[in-house]
């Protein structure tokens, strides 16, 4: 990752392709979080529940959400790979629209933070109140 540059007006700019790459990683992270719901709904405890058409629709919806998220991530990566490295963008305003602090940290160029799927996997049994 290259360092962000500051123009004469003091605005923070960074390569758009890097921003798009970080967005793609966040979408993949969302897909992984959704994917982890499937075992909770198909643990085999109730054959009645598994045979339910409503349950199958939920399972198919989860699968579709994961496929769509991964597809969007690949699409964004594909566009980002074709962008000129000289195309710079200031994401400050966009970051201010995000309410999840861990996501904000990951979307900033200068900060490395673990993805949500990793954090929640390791924090089994912990509870966050929000």
| pLDDT tens per residue, range 34-50 | 998 887 777 665 666 66
The structural domains of the chain, with segments of one domain joined by +, span: 13-111
Residue identified by tokens 């109730």 is 46
Confidence of residue 80 (pLDDT cuts 50, 70, 90): very high
CB 128 within 8 A of CB 43: no
Q: Structure pTM? A: 0.73
What is the predicted pLDDT for the residue at 8? 44
Of the two residues 1 and 21, the one the predictor is more confident about is: 21
């Amino acid at each position: 990752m290259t360092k962000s540059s500051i123009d004469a007006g003091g605005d923070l700019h960074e390569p758009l392709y890097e921003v798009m790459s970080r967005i793609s990683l966040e979408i993949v992270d969302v897909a992984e979080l959704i994917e982890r719901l499937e075992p909770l709904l198909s643990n085999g405890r109730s054959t009645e529940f598994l045979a339910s058409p409503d349950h199958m629709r939920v399972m198919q919806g989860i699968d579709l959400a994961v496929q769509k998220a991964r597809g969007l991530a690949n699409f964004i990566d594909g566009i980002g790979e074709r962008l000129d490295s000289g195309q710079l963008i200031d994401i400050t305003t966009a970051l201010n629209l995000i309410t999840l602090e861990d996501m904000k940290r990951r979307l900033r160029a200068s900060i490395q933070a673990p993805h949500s799927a990793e954090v929640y996997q390791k924090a089994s049994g912990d509870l966050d109140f929000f």
